[in-house]
Amino acid sequence: MTEAWELGIAEAAGLIRRRELSAVELLDSVLDRLQDTEDYAHAWAFLDDPGALEAARMADDQAAMGQFGGALHGIPLGVKDVIDVRRMPTEGGSESLRGNCAKDDAGVVRQLRASGAVILGKLQTHEFAFGQGTPPSRNPWDPDRYAGGSSVGSGVAVAVGSIPGALGTDTGGSVRNPAAVNGLVGLKPSTGVVSSSGVLHVSHTMDHVGPIARSVEDCAMLFDGMVELQAVAGLGGPVSARIQDIPAGIKLGVDRQIWSEWGVSSGVVAAVDEALSVLEDLGIEIIDLSLPDLDLSLHASVAISLSEAALHHRQRLKGAAGQYLPSTRVMIETGALVSRDDIRLAWQVRSHLRSLIPEFMLRTGVDGLVSPTLPAIAPFASSMSSELTGPPGEDSLAAALRMLSPANLTGMPGISVPCGLASAQPVGLHIMGPERSDARVLAIAHAYERATQWHRNVPVRVLPTVLK
């Protein structure tokens, strides 16, 4: 018998709307699962059980009267701890913010509440979402491996089933990275469609708030609950209603040459090649092409991100520098040293790629670009390199940023969907499309997901054995 915590967002929402499941029953089941897994997972930074229970009861009272706040009515969700939730701590994984409590909801949280969501609490993150240090969250597939960054708690919580969906932030891949590592779906939306107010920014230019869930359908439904009302029309309407079918004649571009430059491992290549064969069986044409300018993204992204981070942290560092992790502080202080000429050049690269990639896609007739999400399976935490730039390699954060930062720099949507295993660890398939093509990117990912079984590997059912 399926327990309520095992339900996806879409399925649970349907049951609640039909009065076959109550929001309180769902929350109680999720809390039981959290209790069973948290000693291992360490995904949560703060829990508001009483507040969530009150919100769930209110959702049930409204449902009894035939009133529903929105598509996420009664669905419990978690929020990365760099995003404000009123009356909850926003500590960003940093001692320098210990005890800091949000006075108001971030814009995206207000939107979720308006959609009927129940906010359960805050999820672990690397300090200020910089990817530095080692948060307590553990990889549910292998406790010795990297669990994803910097939305690490969001990925782990969804993977172990202690929440059906969560918010993360993505500056250079930090929604899609933990999604891939944990065998989940993660979406970095188009620029400007999800509010970034009330977020502790790394970079206001590069940062995007995005959803992590167990399936594409759940991810799309959660995304709809996040989108600013004024942005819905620009997306062509709610995306979850438009992912069931993909238009005829879809073409996706693949640059296999750049995979070798990125250092993509043979196991990941094999899994992604098999995924491309599935897409071809679905009637999607795969076109080999060359787009070497994608590799310009990494250094431009780092220059913009760190220079903006230095501005965001300048005042706090004056009074609390000693409470930052040394590696985080060095990164931020390095941002203050980026020259105006380098920043100007980075913005020129951004402008170049924002025009080049859509024009290239139009010229070659492709609707999106497809690649591995990460160059390799999750590395062992003991050997993980957290440098932002450097040579490609299986243990390199720089390699992941090199592959994922083009979507952040250009504002294009990118999604990671599970596409197989290598050495018993999840592999992600990445699909990136033009700005505001979020619905199409989700539809392509959904078509692939329906033709495979990889997303059914979560929740990780071996976890109770691991816990023993």
Sheet of strand 285-288: strand arrangement? 44-47, 118-123, 76-80, 165-170, 208-213, 185-188, 414-422, 425-432, 368-372, 251-254, 285-288
CA 60 and chain centroid, separation: 29
Q: Are strands 414-422 and 185-188 parallel, antiparallel or unpaired?
A: antiparallel
- Looking at residue 463, what is its pLDDT? 53
Task: Tell me the C-alpha distance between 11 and 15, whole Å.
Answer: 6
Dmax over CA atoms of the chain, in Å, equals: 62
Give me the active site residues, please.
Answer: 80, 150, 174
CB 213 within 8 A of CB 158: yes
79 strand-pairing partners: 122, 167
Task: Tell me the C-alpha distance between 243 and 333, whole Å.
Answer: 44
Residue with tokens 């240090």: 133
Task: Tell me the C-alpha distance between 294 and 254, whole Å.
Answer: 12
Q: Which of 23-27, 115-119, 142-146, 387-391 has the weakest average pLDDT?
A: 387-391
Residue 113 binned pLDDT confidence (cut-offs 50, 70, 90): very high
**Tokens matching residue 112:** 């979720």
**What's the half-sphere exposure (Cβ side, CA atoms, 13 Å) at 68?**
16
pLDDT tens readout for residues 115-169: 999 999 999 999 999 999 999 999 999 999 999 999 999 999 999 999 999 999 9
Q: Which of 53-57, 172-176, 196-200, 462-466 has the weakest average pLDDT?
A: 462-466
pLDDT at 398 exceeding the cut of 70: yes
pLDDT at 394 exceeding the cut of 60: no
**Tokens matching residue 183:** 């065998």
Q: Which domains does the chain have, with CATH numbers?
A: 4-467 (3.90.1300.10)
**Tokens matching residue 442:** 């989700």
CB 371 within 8 A of CB 402: no
The dihedrals phi and psi of 13, each to the nearest 5 degrees, come to -60, -40
pLDDT tens readout for residues 290-328: 999 999 999 999 999 999 999 999 999 999 999 999 999
Task: Tell me the C-alpha distance between 136 and 176, whole Å.
Answer: 20
Give which of 11, 63, 20, 412 is closest to 210, Cα–Cα. 412
**Tokens matching residue 382:** 């003991």
Task: Kindly state the DSSP code that residue 396 receives in the 8-state scheme.
Answer: B
Residues 6+ apart with CB under 8 A from 29: 3, 4, 5
Task: Tell me the C-alpha distance between 445 and 429, whole Å.
Answer: 9
CA 382 and chain centroid, separation: 24
The dihedrals phi and psi of 57, each to the nearest 5 degrees, come to -65, -40
CB 175 within 8 A of CB 151: yes
List the beta strands (DSSP E) in 116-262. 118-123, 165-170, 185-188, 208-213, 251-254
Give which of 434, 435, 407, 431 is closest to 417, Cα–Cα. 431
pLDDT tens readout for residues 224-246: 999 998 999 999 999 999 999 99
Task: Tell me the C-alpha distance between 232 and 196, whole Å.
Answer: 16
- Looking at residue 385, what is its pLDDT? 65
pLDDT tens readout for residues 341-383: 999 999 999 999 999 999 999 999 999 999 999 999 999 988 8
